[in-house]
C-alpha cells in the first residue's frame, strides 16, 4: 500500500504541474480526491487493513492526502494567478502624460475675491450681493451724491434710455433712470434698507465706468466693499480692519496708511496706501489700494438709521488692481482675454 501511495503522490505531482485551466483542475481533483478518485479508493481499503497496522497505514494515507492537497492548492493558485494576469495588458509607461487635460482652474479674480472673503469672514463679515443694473437712487442719491455731481455725468456713467425697464430691479421713484452701477456701494444701501444694524457685510462685484480701455482701465471691472454698522464704531476700528486685511493677505511686513480724501458717502474719508517689501512691484513704495471712511450721517438718515445711535465704516477697493499687485500682472486686459496660458498660472 505504501508503494501505491507513493506512486499516486508522484503521479499527482507530475499530473497537476501540467494543469493550466479550471476544467482540467476539476477533472484532476476528481481523479485523485473525488468520490471515485484514486486516493479515495485506497482510503476505502482501510477496512481491510489489520487492526494493528491501521494507525501506521492511516498516517501514511493522511500524509499522502496532505501532499496531494498541497499540490492541488498550488495548481489552483497558479491558475488563479494566470487568470488575473490575463486581465492585464502590458506594463504601463508611468511617465506618459494623462491625456485628459485639466485640472480646471479658477480665474485669478475669483481667487483674489475668495481669499478676501475668507479673510473677512473670519472677522464676522458675510458676503452680500446686489444687482448690476441699478437706479440713480441706489447708486448716487442714497450715497449723498447730488444730481449735478460730475460722477453722475453721462460722460462717466452708462445709462439706459429713459423708457428702459428692468423687471426685477425696482426703482425708488418713477423718474429715476436705470444705469450700470459705478461702484458696489449700492449693495450697502440695499442691505441697510432690508435689514437692521448691526450689519457687517462684504460685497464683491462687477462695476462699470465709461472709460477708455487700456492697460489699467476697463469698461467693467470688479470691486470689493466692506460695510460695518454698529454702535461706537471709530476711525481706529477702521484702521485696525485695514491692517488686519492686508497683513492677512500679504504678510506681516505689510503696512497700511491713511491719507485724508473726499467721498460723498463717508466723513471723514481716506485713501488707503500699502507697502509690502516682498512684493516686487511695491517694495518700499506706498501703493494706493482703496478708499474708506466713516459712513456719512446723511447716508444713515437716508436709510432710516438714526445717526445719533449708529456709526459705521466702509472700505472699497478694486479687485483687478489687487490681483495685479499680488501676481505682478501689468495689463488689466489680460483678465478679460482668457488666454489659457494666463488662466493656468494662478490656480
Query: Which of the 8 DSSP states describes residue 91?
Result: P
In angstroms, the CA 291 to CA 210 distance is 20
x/- letters, 289..328, toward other proteins (CB under 8 A)? -----x-xx-------------x-----------------
Among 35, 47, 89, 99, binds other proteins (CB under 8 A): 99
For residues 72 and 201, which CB has a smaller minimum distance to other proteins in the complex? Answer: 201
In angstroms, the CA 272 to CA 295 distance is 16
Min dist CB 250 to other proteins, Å, is 16
Q: Determine the size of the site formed for other proteins (CB under 8 A).
A: 89
For residues 32 and 208, which CB has a smaller minimum distance to other proteins in the complex? Answer: 208
Under 8 Å between Cβ of 257 and 286: yes
How, if at all, do strands 311-318 and 220-230 pair? antiparallel
**Is residue 341 involved in binding other proteins (CB under 8 A)?**
yes
Stretch that binds other proteins, among 12-20, 52-60, 276-284, 332-340 (CB under 8 A): 332-340
Alpha-carbon distances of 89 from 72, 78, 93, 98, 129, rounded to whole Å: 28, 19, 12, 17, 54
User: Residues with Cβ < 8 Å from 272, sequence gap 6 or more?
Assistant: 242, 256, 257, 258, 259, 288, 289, 290, 291, 292, 315, 317
Among 22, 54, 59, 106, binds other proteins (CB under 8 A): 106
User: Residues with Cβ < 8 Å from 146, sequence gap 6 or more?
Assistant: 264
**Is residue 173 involved in binding other proteins (CB under 8 A)?**
no
Residues 211-250 that bind other proteins (CB under 8 A): 211-213, 219-220, 230, 232, 234-237, 239-241, 243-244
Stretch that binds other proteins, among 7-15, 26-34, 43-51, 263-271 (CB under 8 A): 263-271
**Is residue 129 involved in binding other proteins (CB under 8 A)?**
yes
**Is residue 269 involved in binding other proteins (CB under 8 A)?**
yes
Under 8 Å between Cβ of 229 and 198: yes
**Is residue 62 involved in binding other proteins (CB under 8 A)?**
no
User: Residues with Cβ < 8 Å from 203, sequence gap 6 or more?
Assistant: 127, 128, 129, 130, 184, 187, 188, 191, 224, 225, 226, 227
**Is residue 97 involved in binding other proteins (CB under 8 A)?**
yes
Min dist CB 228 to other proteins, Å, is 10
**Is residue 284 involved in binding other proteins (CB under 8 A)?**
no
Residue 122 has phi, psi (to 5 degrees) of -60, -30
Min dist CB 341 to other proteins, Å, is 6
Cell 444713515 -> residue = 300
Among 35, 47, 260, 280, binds other proteins (CB under 8 A): 260
Min dist CB 255 to other proteins, Å, is 10
Stretch that binds other proteins, among 1-9, 14-22, 68-76, 126-134 (CB under 8 A): 126-134
Min dist CB 295 to other proteins, Å, is 10
Name the residue among 331, 248, 318, 333 with its Cα closest to residue 287.
Answer: 318
How big is the chain, counted in residues?
Answer: 347
Question: Using omega within 30 degrees of 0 as the cis cutoff, is the peptide bond preceding 103 cis?
Answer: yes
Count other C-beta atoms under 10 Å from residue 238's C-beta.
24
x/- letters, 148..167, toward other proteins (CB under 8 A)? xxx--xx---xxxxx-xxxx
Among 20, 45, 126, 345, binds other proteins (CB under 8 A): 126
Amino acid at each position: 500500500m505504501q508503494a501505491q501511495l507513493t506512486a499516486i503522490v508522484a503521479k499527482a505531482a507530475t499530473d497537476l504541474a501540467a494543469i493550466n485551466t479550471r476544467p482540467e483542475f476539476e477533472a484532476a481533483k476528481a481523479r485523485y480526491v473525488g468520490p471515485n478518485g484514486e486516493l479515495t479508493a485506497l482510503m476505502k481499503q482501510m477496512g481491510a487493513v489489520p487492526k494493528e497496522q491501521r494507525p501506521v497505514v492511516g498516517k501514511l494515507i493522511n500524509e499522502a492526502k496532505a501532499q496531494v492537497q498541497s499540490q492541488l492548492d498550488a495548481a489552483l493558485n497558479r491558475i488563479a494567478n494566470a487568470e488575473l494576469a490575463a486581465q492585464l495588458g502590458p506594463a504601463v509607461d508611468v511617465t506618459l502624460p494623462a491625456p485628459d487635460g485639466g485640472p480646471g482652474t479658477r480665474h485669478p479674480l475669483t481667487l483674489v475675491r475668495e481669499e478676501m472673503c475668507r479673510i473677512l469672514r473670519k472677522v464676522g463679515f458675510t458676503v452680500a450681493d446686489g444687482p448690476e443694473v441699478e437706479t440713480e437712487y441706489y447708486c448716487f442719491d442714497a450715497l449723498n451724491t447730488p444730481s449735478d455731481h460730475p460722477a453722475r455725468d453721462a460722460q462717466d456713467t452708462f445709462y439706459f434710455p429713459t423708457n428702459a425697464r428692468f423687471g426685477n430691479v425696482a426703482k425708488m421713484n418713477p423718474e429715476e433712470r436705470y444705469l450700470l452701477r459705478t461702484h458696489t456701494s449700492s449693495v450697502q444701501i440695499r442691505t441697510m434698507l432690508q435689514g437692521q444694524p448691526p450689519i457687517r457685510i462684504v460685497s464683491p462685484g462687477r462695476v462699470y465706468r465709461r472709460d477708455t480701455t487700456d492697460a489699467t482701465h476697463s469698461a467693467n471691472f470688479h470691486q470689493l466693499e466692506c460695510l460695518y454698522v454698529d454702535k461706537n464704531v471709530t476711525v481706529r476700528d477702521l484702521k485696525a480692519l485695514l491692517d488686519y486685511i492686508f497683513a492677512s493677505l500679504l504678510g506681516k511686513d505689510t503696512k497700511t496708511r491713511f491719507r485724508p480724501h473726499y467721498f460723498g458717502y463717508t466723513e471723514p474719508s481716506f485713501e488707503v496706501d500699502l507697502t509690502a517689501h516682498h512684493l516686487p512691484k511695491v517694495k518700499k513704495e506706498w501703493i494706493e489700494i482703496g478708499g474708506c471712511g466713516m459712513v456719512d450721517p446723511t447716508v444713515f438718515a437716508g436709510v432710516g438709521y438714526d445717526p445719533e445711535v449708529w456709526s459705521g465704516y466702509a472700505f472699497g477697493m478694486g479687485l483687478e488692481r489687487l490681483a495685479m499687485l499680488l501676481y505682478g500682472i501689468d495689463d488689466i486686459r489680460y483678465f478679460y482675454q482668457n488666454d489659457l496660458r494666463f488662466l493656468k498660472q494662478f490656480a
